[in-house]
Amino acid sequence: MILQGIAFYVFAALLVASGVMVISSRNPVHSVLFLILAFFQAAGLCLLMGAEFIAMILVIVYVGAVAVLFLFVVMMLDINFRELRQGAMEVLPLGGLIGLILFAELAAVLGGWIVAPGVEKLAGSPTPSIDTVSNTVALGRLMYTQYVYLFQACGIVLLVAMIGAIVLTLRHRVGVRKQDIGAQLARRRDEVVAIRKVTTGEGV
């Protein structure tokens, strides 16, 4: 128990520090790298709780795909951050409102343990047969039965994000010769083939 407690505080401290560095770093590439570090610390916390499937998802999906995609987009886009900061004051009221909503949600989650003390007994029991199956099986039952539509909606959101990243990083360069399949198929034989009669001993 002492070793698990030490590991928890180490992972939690590094996770909080990484989250602070994500939003405070001036370089966006550094922010993405700190985000990857935060994902690893969150995966460590999930392992301590016995949720090995969630930990592997954080490492494989978020670190291996999403965070690398963020880093790719940030490095490929030519973003002028001075122009972005100029319009920051215009959206400050909206950002403050969203921040208040998120703070209220966090306060409701944290206050729920005081208002309803019995909810902590249900937190670790996603299915009635949690003692007989692993957390991967229990999570799969919930995800593909009760929350299947939300799961599909998350997949659509990720697909839209991937398409948007591809569109934003697409570059159209002038003067680059590209293959046109339609033009190739539309060409006739007499336009590209020339038959010449060459006598013996003479060149073309």
Domains of the chain, residue spans: 1-78, 124-169
DSSP H helical ranges for the chain: 2-24, 28-48, 52-57, 68-76, 81-86, 92-115, 119-123, 135-141, 148-169, 181-186, 189-192
Give the pLDDT of residue 85.
64
Give the pLDDT of residue 157.
93
Q: Which of helix, strand or coil describes residue 144? A: helix
The separation between the first and the last C-alpha atoms of the chain, rounded to the nearest angstrom, is 89
Give the pLDDT of residue 49.
82
pLDDT in tens, 10-65: 888 888 998 888 888 877 778 888 888 888 888 888 888 878 888 888 888 887 87
> How much of the chain exceeds pLDDT 70, in percent?
78
The reply to whether the predicted model has a pTM over 0.85 is: no
For the chain, state the CA radius of gyration: 28
Which CATH class for the 1-78 domain?
A: mainly alpha
Q: Does residue 18 contact residue 34 with C-beta atoms inside 8 Å?
A: yes
pLDDT in tens, 106-129: 676 666 666 656 655 555 544 444
Handedness of CA 134, 137, 143, 146 (dihedral sign): negative
Q: Does residue 42 contact residue 58 with C-beta atoms inside 8 Å?
A: yes
pLDDT in tens, 153-196: 989 998 998 898 888 877 777 777 778 888 888 888 888 888 88
